[in-house]
Amino acid sequence: MKTSLPRFLFWPLLLAFGLCSLPGFGQRDFYERYSFNQSDTLRGMLRPERSCYDVGFYELDLRVDIDRKYLEGSVSMDFVVLEPTRRLQIDLYANMEITRIDWQNSPLRYSREHNAVFVEFTETLLPGSRHRLRIAYRGQPQAARNPPWDGGFVWSKDRNGKPWVGVACEGDGASLWWPNKDHLSDEPDSVSIRVAVPTGLQCVANGNLRGQTALPGGYTRFDWFVSYPINNYNVTLNIADYAHFSDVYVAADGDSLALDYYVLPYNEAKAREHFRQVQPTLACFERFFGKYPFWRDGFALVETSYLGMEHQSAIAYGNRYLRGYLGSMIPRDMDWDYVIVHETGHEYFGNSVSCNDLSEMWIHESFTTYMEALFVECEFSYPDAVRYMKGMLGHIGNRQPILGPPDVNWEKWHYSDHYYKGAWVLHTLRHAINDDERWFALLKSFYQQCALSNIRTDDFVQFVNDFTGRDFTAFFEQYLWYPAVPKLLYRLKPQGDDLEVFFKWEAQVPGFDMPVLIGRKGEYVQVFPNTETARSVVLKGLSPEDFQVATELFLIETLKID
Local confidence pLDDT in tens for the 562 residues of the chain: 222 223 222 223 223 333 333 333 455 578 888 889 999 999 999 999 999 999 999 999 999 999 999 999 999 999 999 999 999 999 999 999 999 999 999 999 999 999 999 999 999 999 999 999 999 999 999 999 999 999 999 999 999 999 999 999 999 999 999 999 999 999 999 999 999 999 999 999 999 999 999 999 999 999 999 999 999 999 999 999 999 999 999 999 999 999 999 999 999 999 999 999 999 999 999 999 999 999 999 999 999 999 999 999 999 999 999 999 999 999 999 999 999 999 999 999 999 999 999 999 999 999 999 999 999 999 999 999 999 999 999 999 999 999 999 999 988 887 899 999 999 999 999 999 999 999 999 999 999 999 999 999 999 999 999 999 999 999 999 999 999 999 999 999 999 999 999 999 999 999 999 999 999 999 999 999 999 999 999 999 999 999 999 999 999 999 999 9
CATH 1.10.390.10 occupies which residues in the chain? Answer: 250-257+265-483
Q: Quote the strand ranges of 50-169, DSSP E.
A: 53-65, 70-81, 85-91, 97-103, 106-107, 109-113, 116-125, 130-139, 152-157, 163-168
Q: Which fold has domain 250-257+265-483?
A: Neutral Protease; domain 2 (1.10.390)
- Cβ-contact 383, 480 below 8 angstroms: no
Q: What pTM was estimated for this model as a whole? A: 0.94
How far apart are alpha carbons 262 and 313 in whole angstroms? 12
Which contiguous run of DSSP H or E holds residue 363?
helix 362-379
Say whether 84 sits in a helix, a strand or coil. Answer: coil
Instruction: State the DSSP code for 48.
Output: H
Is 49-241 a domain of CATH 2.60.40.1730? yes
Kindly provide the b/e burial profile for residues 52-65, where b requires at least 16 CB atoms within 10 angstroms of the residue's own CB: bbbbbebbbbbbbe
How far apart are alpha carbons 244 and 261 in whole angstroms? 6
Omega into 148 within 30° of 0, i.e. cis? yes
CATH 2.60.40.1730 occupies which residues in the chain? Answer: 49-241
Instruction: State the DSSP code for 541.
Output: T
How far apart are alpha carbons 432 and 554 in whole angstroms? 8
> For 132, left (φ over 0), alpha (ψ -120 to 50), or beta?
beta
Q: Which residues contact 24 (CB under 8 A, 6 or more apart)?
A: 482, 483, 484, 508
Which contiguous run of DSSP H or E holds residue 337?
none
Q: Which fold has domain 487-560?
A: Immunoglobulin-like (2.60.40)
